[in-house]
Amino acid sequence: MTKLSRRFFLQTIGAAVASTVVGCTSKPILPVQGSAKRHIRLAFYTDIHARKEWDTPEALAMAAASINAQHPDIVLGGGDYITDGFQSSVATVAHRWDAYMKMHNNIQATLFPAIGNHDLVAALPEDGTPAAEDPRAIYLQKMGLARTYYAFDTLGYHFIVLDSVEVTGGKYKYRGFISPAQMEWLKQDLAALKSDTPIVVITHVPLVTAFYNVTQGVEFKPRPNRVIVNNKEVLELFSQHNLILVLQGHLHVKERYQWGNTTFITGGAVCGKWWRRGNWYKTKPGYNLITLNDNHVEWEYVEYGWQPRRP
């Protein structure tokens, strides 16, 4: 198996995205051995909420080591790499980024990240400091990206990474939403694909989930900051395409849901119950190991052995 260097990722994705304008597609081809076979092993982790209290740096090191031991072809990040960036100042969360980036840099396979709501820094600070002109700027700098949404091809699959967070203020502060500019970009990206190309989407806020039906009842309506509110419009764009897998986070539960030919996997959380002791809806701290073989999806949720110590 050929490993992709992090430098190659930054140069390929970063340069491609930087040169892309809305309405054009960005599809770097990653030279991984065996691309004609449509067989790929993925690790997907999400909701890290990095910080330095309660020995969490030790947990992050354990998680990275566990991911490396699986020898994935590529690794996908589902967002919320730090905790409370959205409502905090740049200075407040600087050490949290330091903690997360140690884990990030310890992962050996090439890592493709999606942004989460906590990764927007100083979007709406609660300490009276000014809001950031661009709350995504620090995330982009840390990840070596020019834009928070992008696409790439490898091993016979087309991957689409979405930015699912819109700052709204008000009661809920933000909502799950795919912006009009991003929707236009997505239309153009899909138009360049053959209809049978297998597609994987990565998003922080879920496109589809049964979590609230199961835990709150079928009449419960999720808050707009819990799900992507224009999910139907997004999914309609894939109606003539081969969307085989959607990877999503945000809810800290492990969940697999099938609709038509698409598998939706909600990926639990590296931090479990926000580093608190006990499980969150039967989900322990963990990540996901996924094997794709043409259009077939195999999924395993891996508990990496951390026992949370937060009171």
DSSP secondary structure letters along the chain:
-PPPPHHHHIIIIIHHHHT--TTS---PBP--TTGGG-EEEEEEE----B-SGGGHHHHHHHHHHHHHHT--SEEEE-S--BSS-TTS-HHHHHHHHHHHHHHHHH--S-EEE---GGGSTTSS-SSSPPPPS-TTHHHHHHHT-S-S-EEEEETTEEEEE---EEEEETTTEEEE---HHHHHHHHHHHHTS-TT-EEEEEESS-SS--HHHHHH-TT----TTTSBTTHHHHHHTTTTSEEEEEEE-SS--EEEEEETTEEEEEE--TTTBTTBSS-BTTB-SEEEEEEEETTEEEEEEEE------B-
Confidence of residue 22 (pLDDT cuts 50, 70, 90): very low
Please check the confidence at residue 165 and state whether its pLDDT lies above 90: yes
Predicted confidence (pLDDT) at residue 308 exceeds the cutoff of 80: yes
pLDDT (average), residues 44-55: 97
Question: Would you state the pLDDT for residue 207?
Answer: 98
Residue range 196-207, pLDDT digits in tens: 999 999 999 999
Residue 140 burial (10 A CB sphere; 0-12, 13-18, 19+): middle
At residue 146 the predicted structure's pLDDT band, cuts being 50, 70 and 90, is very high
Nearest to 288 by CA among 258, 248, 257: 248
Whether the pLDDT of residue 124 is over 90: the answer is yes
The pLDDT, as a whole number, for residue 132 is 97
pLDDT digit string, tens, across residues 244-297:
999 999 999 999 999 999 999 999 999 999 999 999 999 999 999 999 999 999
pLDDT band at 13 (very low <50, low <70, confident <90, very high): low
- pTM equals 0.91
Q: Which tens digits make up the pLDDT trace of 59-116?
A: 999 999 999 999 999 999 999 999 999 999 999 999 999 999 999 999 999 999 999 9
What would the CATH number be for the domain defined by 25-303?
3.60.21.10
Sorted by where each begins, the domain ranges of the chain are: 25-303
Q: How is residue 11 written in tokens? A: 């140069």
Could you tell me the pLDDT band of residue 37, with boundaries at 50, 70 and 90?
Answer: low
Q: Is the pLDDT of residue 24 over 80?
A: no
Confidence check: pLDDT of 15 > 90: no
181, two tokens: 């500019």
Q: Is the pLDDT of residue 218 over 80?
A: yes
